[in-house]
Amino acid sequence: MKKLPPLRRYQTIAEDLKLAIIGAEIQFGQRLPSERQLMTKYGVHRNTIRQAIALLENEGLVQTELKRGSYVALKSELPQSTTPDLPVSGRVLLINPWNSASTAMTQIANGLTESVKGTGVSILRFNSNPTNGMPNYVLPSLEMIEKDEVCGLILWAHSGSVAEDLSYLKGKLPVVLIDRRVPGLESDVVRTNDIAGGKMVTEHLLDKGHRGIAFISDDPFVETVRNRWWGYALAHHDRGLEVNDSMFVSCMSANKSVFEPIVSALLSNTTPKVTALVCSNDSLASTILTMLRRLGYRVPLDVAVTGYGDLLPNMTEALELTSVRQPFVDVGVRAGELMMRRLSEGGLFGHNESEDIQLPVDLIIRSSSG
């Protein structure tokens, strides 16, 4: 197995603490929670916490005293910007594929709106789904951007997006990606930790005693799915278990007529016997659950099933589907804050050092996994 790249969790923790300081949850001169408290809160080792605090110390937000702990710097001691913030006004365009069944974009939009409240910036939605029989997804033209006084773009890229699709925006205005990166594109991104999520849900099934765990995807090429599979593989690797290629099933469609014979063969012909299915998203898991029951399988007695996202509340609760919850309101807040910072700095897409912010996810256990 290839060595996983660092997830930079300490940067996410540092951002959380910085937000608490900016939002006055931790006052100037007040002591930060202890290392042990922060380790428990974030589920990480001591060294990760120390790296996060070191980042805040480097920014002058925190001071650490031997045997006394770390404190928020007094307001008079905070570093002063050498360049004044530029005035910010206009519209930030939220570009996304429309999916009325999922609550993800509503949550992101709510977070974005909250993050720009009280500023001169507003949020404008843009549906990037193909229209009028067009084969490719839609991006706003430079004419539209100028006409609608757009000052920044926040983009949920379609599967299959490439760097060339966005090259016309380079040097024009700041761009923040959400949920996923675009191959070959250097850009700010705010996403959830999908490697940790895939690992978390697989470890849950391993803890339940399952050893024949298959990973099923209806979009194997998108980065988020690859990362979830990577977490699935890592969970096996950490337990000394081999990842069997026959346990990975992918198809570019969640249509039941396509998946039913594939899943049926997987459950009846694979060694070791498949007793659990990790689905790459909740919609696919819903299709699989309906299919299993039609084929006479008992969930979770014969086969356990998990999803990912927890973004279809009516469906996941009705099906009692175990899922990994992604905090998309927080994604919206972080993306909005990053965009406001880029706007105040005068940063342009392709002209600044990019940030990759990964937010933690939570496992929501329901009866589909036993």
Q: Domain extents for the chain?
A: 9-77, 89-192+328-359, 194-326+365-369
Q: What is the pLDDT of residue 98?
A: 63
What are the pLDDT digits (tens) for 315-344? Answer: 777 889 999 999 999 999 999 999 998 888
Q: From CA 321, how far away is CA 311, in angstroms rounded? A: 11
Which residues in the chain show pLDDT less than 70?
A: 1-8, 22-24, 67, 74-88, 98-101, 131-136, 252-256, 347-352
Q: Tokens at residue 163, please? A: 């760097």
CATH code that applies to domain 194-326+365-369: 3.40.50.2300
Q: What is the pLDDT of residue 101?
A: 63
Q: What is the pLDDT of residue 136?
A: 65
Q: From CA 338, how far away is CA 334, in angstroms rounded? A: 6
Q: What is the pLDDT of residue 165?
A: 85
Q: What is the pLDDT of residue 298?
A: 95
Q: What is the pLDDT of residue 357?
A: 94
Q: Thinking of the domain 89-192+328-359, which architecture would CATH place it in?
A: 3-Layer(aba) Sandwich (3.40)
Q: What is the pLDDT of residue 86?
A: 45
Q: 226, 274, 282: which is closest to 254 by C-alpha?
A: 282
Q: Thinking of the domain 9-77, which architecture would CATH place it in?
A: Orthogonal Bundle (1.10)
> 9-77 with 89-192+328-359: one CATH topology?
no
Q: Tokens at residue 334, please? A: 């972080």
